[in-house]
C-alpha cells in the first residue's frame, strides 16, 4: 500500500539534498577564507573558526572608519557538482543582524556575487531554504540588472557577508549548508549561462559584466581604445563608475564623445590606464597618456585624490580598481612656440567651418583677430620674417574688398607662421 501511495504522488516529488559545507572535521576550515574592508582601506575585522560544537563561527567587529563597513567569509573556488539543484538550505544562529548569503560562479569576478539577505534572530537557530531564483546578482554592494540567471552547475563558492553599516561586534554560527533538488517538474528551471560567459574575462568583459561602467565603455569605444583594453597586457585600469561620470557636467561628456574630439577623449581615458599590473599598495608608473598618477596608500587608497571604491579586481589581462571620480590630465606646459601654434590651430579650427558655410567675412574676422593676438602677445615666439609677413597680410587684407579673398590672404600667412614655428 505504501508503495502504491509513493507511486501515486511520484517519487520525483521527494526532495534530495547534497552537502555543500559541513564542519565535523576541523580541516574543513582550510576551505574557507576571509575578506574584509581593509582591501579598500577600511579597518573592520572578521574571521572564522570551527568551534567545539562543530559549527563554523563567523565573528568580528564592523568599523565605519575610513569609508569601511563590511566583513565576509567564503569558500575557496571549487567544483561543487550542484547541477540540477534549485535551492540552497542553510542552518544558522545569528545575533539579530541581517547578513548576506553569497554564491559565486565560474563567471563572476571577485567583487561580484549572487546574494540574498538572511535576517537572523538573536541566539536562535534557523533553517532557511532559498530558491536559486531568489538570488540577485550584485557587485560592489549594488544590485545589477540584466545579469545572467544563476546556474546551479556554475556555483563554485558559498559565503557570508555583513555590510549593514552598523558598527560593532557580530557573530554568526553556521551548522551546515546543503543544496536541494526538489525533483518537481513544475519547479522554476535553472538557467544555464550562455557560452560567451564561460571562462575568464578580459578587462572589457569584466567591466561589462559589472554593469556599472556603461559610460566608460562607451567612451572607450568612441576613443578607439577597446582593442587596447582587450589586448595581452597586463594593464591596470583605474575605472570611474557611472556615478563618477555623472558628476562631470553632461555637456563636457557630450563634447568629448564627438568625433572631432576623439584624440582629447583618448588622452583622458589613457590617463586612467597604467602598463603592468598595479595591485593595492603599489606605486604606479607613468600612465599610457604619458604622465604619472599620484598614488596614496596611507589610510585610504586614492589616485589623484579619487577614492578607490574596490581594488584588485583581476581580469585575464590585468587588474581593475574602481574609482569615484574621473581623472583629468593636468594641462601640459607649452613652450612659447607651442602656445603660438596652438592659437593658430584653434583659429583655423573655428575659421574653416565658417568659410565652408559661405560666411567668408566671419572667417576673415577670426583670422584677423588671431594675427593681431600673435603680434601683440606672442611676438617673442615669432621670427622677424614671420612678424613682417603677418603684418603685411593684415595690411593686404584691409585693402581687399572681397571677403573671400580676405580670408585666403590671412589664412596663407597663418599657415606660413605655423610651419615656421614648428621648426623653433
| Residue pLDDT, tens place only, 61-97 | 999 887 778 999 999 989 898 988 989 999 999 999 9
Q: Which of 179, 177, 180 is nearest to 22 (CA)?
A: 177
Q: Which range is least confidently modeled, 6-15, 44-53, 189-198, 264-273?
A: 189-198
Report the share of the chain in percent with pLDDT over 70: 84
The answer to whether 191 and 149 have CB atoms below 8 angstroms apart is yes
Q: Which of 333, 335, 419, 337 is nearest to 382 (CA)?
A: 337
Between 160 and 271, residue with greater pLDDT: 160
Would you say residue 189 has pLDDT above 70?
A: no
pLDDT in tens, 314-333: 888 888 888 888 888 876 66
Q: How many Å apart are CA 283 and CA 93, to the nearest integer? A: 43
Query: Which long-range contacts link 265-268 to residues 24+ away (Cβ below 8 Å)?
Result: 265/219, 265/222, 265/223, 266/223, 266/224, 266/225, 267/329, 268/326, 268/327, 268/328, 268/329
Which set of grid coordinates corresponds to residue 216?
566608460
| β-pair partners for 378 | none
Q: Which range is least confidently modeled, 50-64, 96-110, 391-405?
A: 96-110
Q: Which of 76, 82, 77, 71 is nearest to 29 (CA)?
A: 76
User: How high is the mean pLDDT of the chain?
Assistant: 82
Q: Which range is least confidently modeled, 42-56, 128-142, 186-200, 320-334?
A: 186-200
Q: How many Å apart are CA 399 and CA 293, to the nearest integer? A: 53
Q: How many Å apart are CA 334 and CA 344, to the nearest integer? A: 14
Q: If DSSP states are collapsed to H, E and C, what string results for the chain?
A: CHHHHHHHHCHHHCCEEEEEEECCCHHHHHHEEEEEHHHHCCCCEEEEEECCCCCEEEEEEECCHHHCCCEEEEECCCCCCCCCCCEEEEEEEECCCEEEEEEEECCCCCCEEEEEEEECCECCEEEEEEEHHHCEEEECCEECCCCCCCCHHHEEEEEEEECCCCCEEEEEEEEEEEEEECCCCCCCCCCCCCHHHCCCCCHHHHHHHHCCCHHHHHHHHHHCCHHHHCCCCCEEEEEECHHHHHCCCHHHHHHHCCHHHHHHHHHHHHCCEEECCCCCCCCCCECCCCCECCEECCCCCEECCEEEEEEEEEECCEEEEEECCCCCCCCCCCCHHHHHHHHHHHHHHHHHHHHHCCCHHHHHHHHHHHHHHHHHHCHHHCCHHHHHHHHHHHHHHHHCCCHHHHHHHHHHHHHHHHHHHHCC
pLDDT in tens, 334-356: 688 888 888 898 888 888 888 88
Q: How many Å apart are CA 17 and CA 38, to the nearest integer? A: 36
Would you say residue 99 has pLDDT above 90?
A: yes
Which set of grid coordinates corresponds to residue 348?
583655423
Q: How many Å apart are CA 100 and CA 396, to the nearest integer? A: 78
269-283, 299-313, 332-346, 355-369 — most confident range? 355-369
| β-pair partners for 88 | 130, 179
Amino acid at each position: 500500500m505504501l508503495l502504491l501511495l509513493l507511486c501515486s504522488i511520484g517519487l520525483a516529488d521527494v526532495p534530495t539534498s547534497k552537502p555543500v559545507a559541513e564542519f565535523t572535521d576541523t580541516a574543513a576550515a582550510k576551505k574557507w577564507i576571509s575578506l574584509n574592508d581593509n582591501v579598500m582601506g577600511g579597518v573592520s575585522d572578521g574571521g572564522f573558526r570551527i568551534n567545539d560544537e562543530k559549527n563554523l563561527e563567523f565573528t568580528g567587529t564592523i568599523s565605519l572608519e575610513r569609508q569601511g563597513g563590511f566583513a565576509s567569509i567564503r569558500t575557496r573556488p571549487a567544483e561543487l557538482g550542484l547541477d540540477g539543484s534549485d535551492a540552497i538550505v542553510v542552518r544558522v544562529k545569528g545575533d539579530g543582524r541581517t547578513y548576506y548569503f553569497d554564491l559565486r560562479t565560474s563567471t563572476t569576478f571577485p567583487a561580484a556575487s549572487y546574494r540574498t539577505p538572511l535576517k537572523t534572530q538573536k541566539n536562535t537557530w534557523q533553517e532557511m531554504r532559498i530558491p536559486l531564483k531568489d538570488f540577485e546578482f550584485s557587485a560592489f554592494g549594488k544590485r545589477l540588472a540584466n545579469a545572467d540567471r544563476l546556474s546551479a552547475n556554475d556555483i563554485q563558492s558559498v559565503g557570508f557577508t555583513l555590510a549593514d553599516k552598523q558598527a560593532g561586534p557580530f557573530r554568526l554560527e553556521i551548522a551546515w549548508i546543503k543544496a536541494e533538488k526538489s525533483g518537481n517538474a513544475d519547479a522554476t528551471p535553472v538557467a544555464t549561462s550562455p557560452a560567451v560567459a564561460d571562462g575568464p574575462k578580459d578587462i572589457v568583459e569584466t567591466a561589462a559584466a559589472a554593469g556599472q561602467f556603461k559610460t566608460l565603455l562607451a567612451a572607450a569605444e568612441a576613443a578607439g581604445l577597446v582593442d587596447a583594453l582587450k589586448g595581452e597586457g597586463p594593464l591596470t585600469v583605474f575605472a570611474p563608475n557611472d556615478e563618477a561620470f555623472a558628476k562631470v557636467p553632461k555637456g563636457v561628456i557630450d563634447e568629448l564623445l564627438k568625433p572631432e574630439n576623439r584624440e582629447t577623449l583618448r588622452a583622458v581615458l589613457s590617463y586612467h590606464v597604467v602598463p603592468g599590473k598595479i595591485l593595492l599598495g603599489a606605486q604606479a608608473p607613468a600612465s599610457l597618456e604619458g604622465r604619472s598618477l599620484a598614488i596614496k596608500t596611507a589610510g585610504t587608497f586614492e589616485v589623484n585624490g579619487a577614492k578607490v571604491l574596490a581594488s584588485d579586481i583581476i581580469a585575464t589581462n590585468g587588474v581593475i580598481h574602481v574609482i569615484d571620480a574621473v581623472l583629468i590630465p593636468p594641462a601640459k606646459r607649452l613652450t612659447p612656440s607651442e602656445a603660438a601654434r596652438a592659437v593658430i590651430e584653434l583659429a583655423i579650427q573655428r575659421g574653416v567651418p565658417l568659410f565652408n558655410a559661405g560666411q567668408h567675412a566671419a572667417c576673415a574676422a577670426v583670422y584677423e583677430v588671431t594675427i593681431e593676438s600673435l603680434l601683440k602677445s606672442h611676438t617673442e615666439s615669432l621670427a622677424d620674417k614671420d612678424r613682417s609677413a603677418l603684418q603685411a597680410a593684415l595690411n593686404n587684407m584691409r585693402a581687399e574688398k572681397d571677403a573671400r579673398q580676405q580670408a585666403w590672404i590671412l589664412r596663407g600667412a597663418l599657415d606660413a607662421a605655423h610651419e615656421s614655428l614648428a621648426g623653433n
